[in-house]
Structure 1
Amino acid sequence: MPTNHPSICRGCHGGCAAWVTVDGGRVVRVRPRAGSPFNLGHMCVKGLSAPAMMAHPDRLTVPLKRVGERGQGCFEPVSWDEVMAAIAGRLDAFRRESGPHSVALGQGTGRPHYFHVIRFANTFGTPNWYEPGLANCFIPRITVSNLTYGGFVVGDYYGDTPPRTILFWGHNPLVSGPDGELAFPVKKALAAGARGIAVDPRRSETAQRCDLWLPIRPGTDAALALGMARAIIEEGWYDREFVAAQTLGFDELRAAVAHCTPAWTEERTGVPAGLMLEAARRYALDKPSILDWGVSLEQNPNCLQTVRAVAVLRGLTGNLDIPGGDVFGTELIGAYPVLRQALPPEAQALRLGAERFKLLGGFRAFMPSAHIPTLFGAMRTGQPYPVRALLLFGNNPLATVADSRMVLNSLKALELLVVADHFLTPTAALADYVLPAAMWPEMDGVIELPLVAPRAVFAHRQLAQTGQCRQIEAMLDDLAVRLGLPGAGEPLHDIFNARLRPAGVTFAELANGGMVMPPPTYRRFAEKGFRTPTRKVELFSKGLARLGYDPLPSYAPPPESPEASPETARDYPLILTTGARRSEYFHSDGRQIASLRARRPDPLAELGPATAAVRGISDGDWVRVQSPRGQVRMRARVTPDIMEGVASLDHGWWFPERGPGNFGELESAANVLTSAGPPYDPAFGSYQLRGLLCEVEKE
């Protein structure tokens, strides 16, 4: 007889409350569950498709060992004991022969096992772990928020005071729904009368619901933010009381943006000056306002100062820690025990890229990690030292890391590649061992939402078992025990319960569908100030100055752009942006599922009507998109909802229906066109994924 169980969907890095129906040990249905302020009784098609994904005939259900040449996708099944013994033996040999730092770990964005991977890396003794977004997604915004106002902030969609203005900057939450900042509260706020402003080269699904759309030239966000800051200051739109009492460096910032006139801003960004001024006025004066920012700000070599330029707008307008504005989270539960102290100082000094990129891998980094281009370079070249093995957990770098050909050559150079995933991805097809990972209804977990600025905590429990699939934390614990690592064998539920102790609840209690969500608090700064060294919002960042970085935000054009590289622009006159989200897929996930693929069958390149007409391209044509690094094949979508002169490409594409050895991972992957090369952001090591140059031709 079917039974219904409360759970939390983890099909992306959101967290929708769900009902899961189990019949005969199989998940047969997922539907939204009421009671969570984050999804409001709704779910997206990814979460609803979980039963189809779990039962898909191509799903990995047993451990596999490679028996053919690397890349052919030829494997044979092996037992868990055999595969774990073999992997542990190889890791131990690398540890003894060339040091733990010769082993690296990688993982995908926002997965439930995130911190357990870091825990394993620390206890094994390697500083070289990565996640594709650390330099190019989220961590720069967290770090800049900590430096500027002493904590990460999110929009207050959940309190009693609704926002009046929402400035969506490089963010499309109606589709992407990240980190608990899901589409549904945003839709509710807009429906209740909040006026939206969208900064995006695409008139995205979110932008279509906004009053103002600012089509911006990709990679020039810092220029727009500095122009808005100047307008807010010079027009007197700033919050004089808040600025005087709660900020540091107003006069310095005013001087730094004096040259950023409306004409200067329009020339660099393509945003009409009048539109920029109207957006700045509304955000500053029609309060409370939320600044809902996204990943596009971080995907350029001027990452630090781009995020800083946007961040100071909150301080100038006083839209911080107020009802209906951008608010801090609450320390509801304990931190995950990643056992950072187990990693000795001499190992930390070996972290690839740490000495150069201090906010990515240094002591001030939010989650110190390796620099991906430097790490992959060490795999290929052995410099500055060899990286011989890579363990990947829920990560498909052939589709999701910049410069796909570089990634392919790096993976082929490894002595050992282990991949844990749900399906045999293009990356997994290169592996020596492939481990079948559990999906979210097959796992136990605890999640705080929104991430990093939490307002509530939930839990979910294992409800089903498919084949021999294991939770990734269990795989890591198995290896830790075999390798004799510190903390090995500590039960996962003990970790959960220790973390939940401050909330006064156990994992078992919370996993029955409960939620801990205390009432919000606001204006904490009035009594305690902000959690920065000066107790102020640091428009002039003393922390950055001490680290040797510019304490004031500034603009630099993308290194590959019409402004900075006009010779390249003659051959590649269009501006390339990548990473547009589609509701059917989570990065490279989901293309096996027939219902999802029917909705979104092909990789798309979006072009404006004039841009397409000049090239003889019609809607639906297959086209070749070329950059200085290569070319990919896409289907054209001709639409007025994109800035002319820009090509926006879907990312994460491969073709699982073709089978191993023929996945087409270099055929339509946007990252064939992107660059993992220098120049890099001096603080985070971020590289250019947007604002690059390209050309599009009809096939």
Structure 2
Amino acid sequence: MTICDGEHASVCRGCHGGCAARVTVADGRVMRVRPGLGSPFNLGQMCVKGLSIPAMLSHPDRLTVPLKRVGERGSGRFAPVSWDEALGDIAARLDGFRRETGPESVALGQGTGRPHYFHVIRFANTFGTPNWYEPGLANCFIPRITVSNLTYGGFVAGDYYGDTPPRTILFWGHNPLVSGPDGELSFPVKRALAAGAFGIAVDPRRSETAKRCGLWLPIRPGTDAGLALAMIRAIIEEGWYDRDFVEQQTTGFEELRAAVDPYTPAWAEAVTGVPAAAMLEAARRYALDRPSILDWGVSLEQNPNSLQTVRAVAILRGLTGNLDVPGGDVFGHDLLGAYPVLRQELPAEALIRRIGAQQFKLLGGFRAFMPSAHIPGLFAAMRTGDPYRVRALLLFGNNPLATVADSRAVLESLNALDLLVVTDHFLTPTAALADYVLPGAMWPEIDGVIELPLVAPRGVCAHRKLVQTGQCRQIEHILNDLAARLGLAGADEPLESIFDARLRPAGVTFAELAEQGMVLAAPAYRRYLEKGFRTPSRKVELFSKPLARLGYDPLPSYREPPESPVATPEVARAFPLILTTGARRREFFHSEGRQIAFLRARRPEPLVELGPATAAQCGVADGDWARVSSPRGSIRMRVRVTPDIMEGVASIDHGWWFPERGAGDFGALESNANVLTNAGPPYDPAFGSYQLRGLLCAVEKE
């Protein structure tokens, strides 16, 4: 395609959203990005991350040529090399590992929700390694997808786009006015609340979304399953459930009723900190003031009871009949075919060597949505050789030193590798450790297709490559080049052919879709009346027989977080506060964006948020620098004192590093939330999820 100056329609991929955008190109450079018009997903608006793309593309620190390490690992000393030299050496070394210690000794990792997501899996399968990872597979999104498939046969998303507006929106561990993930973007949510929907927020923080809600339920981090089970009990015992729907469209109601009987409102208040009256009001409104949307977030999955926490929350939709109805939570449309990840190329014997697969069946086993390796086990194999040594790691848009739990163990693991290759936009703390750093293309520099919302699509969009910066390359093309050098299947299949094949259900080619911008499916509701739900019983499975067959509890239950004031009171004496991590900020996408001057000016420093009484107890004031400590280490954060957080809780920003200091001194562990987190057991028995919230910490003035 010839790249032309002018204004072009595109889709922003600066996060895993998907805002329609208008991109102005002049002299081969992106000069301006503005919101595109006509998309129901962003309603002619964009966040500041998308607007910042011209500054990112042309930033002086942008990676624009392949680099080879010439100094000690971590020194940040690199020399430019050609693509041919870099990929030739990488391919030769990968081939050597494959022959010497087996393909499973090579692992791949990637960041969340990126356009190249499935192509990384495709390369792993054809190379023969079962060991690939993405942080969300155990601790973000995949448990919600898997549980939705098990419970009602498909993933659902809020119907913010139809003619019937929601009357109630229950935001559970989710702040969509800031994060806007997976095409479920902030702007329709904001419109629904402005139009009169009653918002309920379950969150230890009174987030930007919670501030627009009529009811805020500040909850002790890590106890969400307790609140959900108590709400289920109340909805059943008070008769607030949809009797017709439950009788005709569900199975396991009586078993569920018996299972939740112990979870009384008084019990839930003592466990979660949510007043019983507020819990009952939330349950009543969600169940009776319909249609209702349950807008859930990542915090549900970041604990060792991930499966049953998500199950308990998911069941609320089935009890109240808020499934596939106008203004409720609805299934998507079959607009895209499956990505050809060439799973058949992965040898059967490789499956049993996938790290964690035998233990965590919904993460790495045959019933997994996207079978992958267990991250703690994978990094442990790099540094310990148990169950075998992982010698090489190829990373694509992932900065695990900042974004994976237990940063000190991650650093030790990366330093133990024989080969580390990082493809990214900037030299990150992880990239500074690499043997090769490859310059990846940003979204105006690539071709792509995206479904919106992700996994439950209403629409599908395409965008074309608009500019070329230096020698930056689209990651799919980098992978194909490596695959060709290694003689792997599918290496010569053009990317546009893959897009065309996926778009057949939508009735368009990639070129046609890129020209017209978007295909939207007509709204469709209550499709289960014709064919039932896509479950073995064809009904919503409140009692899950597939889970029972896998050896997991078919009914949801509560487990106290393994590190908490209740479970570990001796630890709580030294670390009396409850830690929650991962608060989202509009300016940054995880660890990205801190090089950009106007983004950094809006959010210059890493924050720990404390309530007024908690701050006084810790002897800190607003604006102080403080030391935040856990049993695993300590970090430095700026204090923000606010009434908009549950007392006794400390909320810290994640993903912090300091690119302005230069390579070799990025402060990767100085203010990194994951210095405090724990990647160790106990793990969720199905997904291998581990505790990232509800941990214990202390705060003291520095």
Instruction: Please confirm whether the aligned pair reaches a TM-score higher than 0.5, indicating the same fold.
Output: yes
After superposition, where does 1:258-269 map in structure 2 within 5 Å?
Answer: 258-269=261-272
2:362 equivalent among 350, 359, 364: 359
1:668 maps to 671
Within the alignment, does 1:460 sit opposite 2:463 as a pair?
yes
CA deviations 1:349-386 (Å, max 9, x no partner) are 11000000000000000000000000001000111011
1:439 maps to 442
SS in 1 for 2:139: coil
SS in 2 for 1:516: strand
Tell me the CA shift for residue 502 of structure 1. 2.0
Distance in 2 (CA, whole Å) between partners of 1:197 and 1:15 is 26
Within the alignment, does 1:101 sit opposite 2:95 as a pair?
no
Which amino acid in the other structure matches residue 536 of structure 2? P
CA contact (8 A) 1:6 1:513 kept: no
Within the alignment, does 1:202 sit opposite 2:193 as a pair?
no
Within the alignment, does 1:306 sit opposite 2:296 as a pair?
no
1:524 maps to 527
2:662 maps to 659
Tell me the CA shift for residue 122 of structure 1. 0.3
After superposition, where does 1:626-641 map in structure 2 within 5 Å?
Answer: 626-641=629-644
Within the alignment, does 1:502 sit opposite 2:500 as a pair?
no
Q: Could you list the runs of 5+ residues in structure 2 that have no partner in the other structure?
A: none
1:618 maps to 621
CA contact (8 A) 1:166 1:292 kept: yes
1:216 equivalent among 214, 219, 230: 219
CA contact (8 A) 1:149 1:532 kept: yes
Distance in 2 (CA, whole Å) between partners of 1:513 and 1:409 is 49
Distance in 2 (CA, whole Å) between partners of 1:518 and 1:197 is 29
Which amino acid in the other structure matches residue 150 of structure 2? L
SS in 2 for 1:116: helix
1:251 maps to 254
2:160 equivalent among 141, 151, 157: 157
Which amino acid in the other structure matches residue 666 of structure 2? F
Within the alignment, does 1:514 sit opposite 2:517 as a pair?
yes
After superposition, where does 1:406-445 map in structure 2 within 5 Å?
Answer: 406-445=409-448
2:575 equivalent among 572, 576, 588: 572
Which amino acid in the other structure matches residue 71 of structure 1? G
Distance in 2 (CA, whole Å) between partners of 1:313 and 1:391 is 40
Tell me the CA shift for residue 526 of structure 1. 1.0
Distance in 1 (CA, whole Å) between partners of 2:343 and 2:211 is 45
Within the alignment, does 1:111 sit opposite 2:80 as a pair?
no
After superposition, where does 1:536-555 map in structure 2 within 5 Å?
Answer: 536-555=539-558
After superposition, where does 1:474-485 map in structure 2 within 5 Å?
Answer: 474-485=477-488
1:315 maps to 318
2:28 maps to 25
Tell me the CA shift for residue 501 of structure 1. 1.8
SS in 2 for 1:554: coil
Distance in 2 (CA, whole Å) between partners of 1:682 and 1:397 is 24
1:392 equivalent among 395, 420, 439: 395
2:343 equivalent among 310, 333, 340: 340
1:381 maps to 384
Within the alignment, does 1:403 sit opposite 2:406 as a pair?
yes
2:132 maps to 129
SS in 1 for 2:519: coil
Within the alignment, does 1:148 sit opposite 2:151 as a pair?
yes
Distance in 1 (CA, whole Å) between partners of 2:331 and 2:646 is 34
Tell me the CA shift for residue 512 of structure 1. 2.2
Distance in 2 (CA, whole Å) between partners of 1:233 and 1:432 is 58
TM superposition outliers: structure 1 runs of 4+ over 3 Å:
none
CA contact (8 A) 2:222 2:303 kept: yes
Within the alignment, does 1:649 sit opposite 2:639 as a pair?
no
CA contact (8 A) 1:503 1:516 kept: yes
Distance in 2 (CA, whole Å) between partners of 1:117 and 1:275 is 45
Within the alignment, does 1:88 sit opposite 2:91 as a pair?
yes
1:276 maps to 279
Which amino acid in the other structure matches residue 173 of structure 1? P
Which amino acid in the other structure matches residue 243 of structure 1? V
1:76 maps to 79
CA contact (8 A) 1:7 1:513 kept: no
Q: Give the percent of matched residue pairs that are identical in Structure 1 and Structure 2.
A: 82
2:611 equivalent among 608, 611, 618: 608
CA deviations 1:375-419 (Å, max 9, x no partner) are 001000111011000000000000000000000000000000000
Distance in 2 (CA, whole Å) between partners of 1:218 and 1:500 is 41
CA deviations 1:420-458 (Å, max 9, x no partner) are 000000000000000000000000000001111111000
2:45 equivalent among 18, 42, 45: 42
Within the alignment, does 1:486 sit opposite 2:489 as a pair?
yes
Distance in 1 (CA, whole Å) between partners of 2:95 and 2:262 is 58
Which amino acid in the other structure matches residue 641 of structure 2? V
After superposition, where does 1:683-698 map in structure 2 within 5 Å?
Answer: 683-698=686-701
1:229 maps to 232
CA deviations 1:155-197 (Å, max 9, x no partner) are 0001111100000000000000000000000001001110000
Tell me the CA shift for residue 514 of structure 1. 1.9
Distance in 2 (CA, whole Å) between partners of 1:535 and 1:502 is 24
Which amino acid in the other structure matches residue 237 of structure 1? W
CA contact (8 A) 1:333 1:502 kept: yes
SS in 2 for 1:512: helix
Counting matched residue pairs gives: 699
Tell me the CA shift for residue 2 of structure 1. 5.1
Distance in 2 (CA, whole Å) between partners of 1:18 and 1:506 is 21
Tell me the CA shift for residue 617 of structure 1. 1.0
CA deviations 1:40-97 (Å, max 9, x no partner) are 0000000000000000000000000000000001000000000010000000000110
CA contact (8 A) 1:460 1:513 kept: no
2:245 maps to 242
> What is the RMSD computed on CA atoms of the aligned residues?
0.6
CA contact (8 A) 2:5 2:28 kept: no
CA deviations 1:617-640 (Å, max 9, x no partner) are 111110000000000000000000
Distance in 1 (CA, whole Å) between partners of 2:317 and 2:521 is 25
Within the alignment, does 1:296 sit opposite 2:299 as a pair?
yes
Higher mean C-alpha displacement, 82-91 vs 615-624: 615-624
SS in 2 for 1:321: coil
CA deviations 1:288-346 (Å, max 9, x no partner) are 00000000000000000000010110011010010000000001121110001110110
CA deviations 1:467-487 (Å, max 9, x no partner) are 000000010000000000011
Which amino acid in the other structure matches residue 365 of structure 1? A
CA contact (8 A) 2:463 2:517 kept: no
1:172 maps to 175
Distance in 2 (CA, whole Å) between partners of 1:150 and 1:640 is 41
Distance in 2 (CA, whole Å) between partners of 1:439 and 1:12 is 11
CA deviations 1:96-124 (Å, max 9, x no partner) are 10110000000000000000000000000
Distance in 2 (CA, whole Å) between partners of 1:34 and 1:197 is 30
Which amino acid in the other structure matches residue 361 of structure 1? G
Tell me the CA shift for residue 513 of structure 1. 4.4
Tell me the CA shift for residue 615 of structure 1. 1.9
SS in 2 for 1:241: helix
Which amino acid in the other structure matches residue 270 of structure 2? E
SS in 1 for 2:30: strand
Tell me the CA shift for residue 698 of structure 1. 0.7
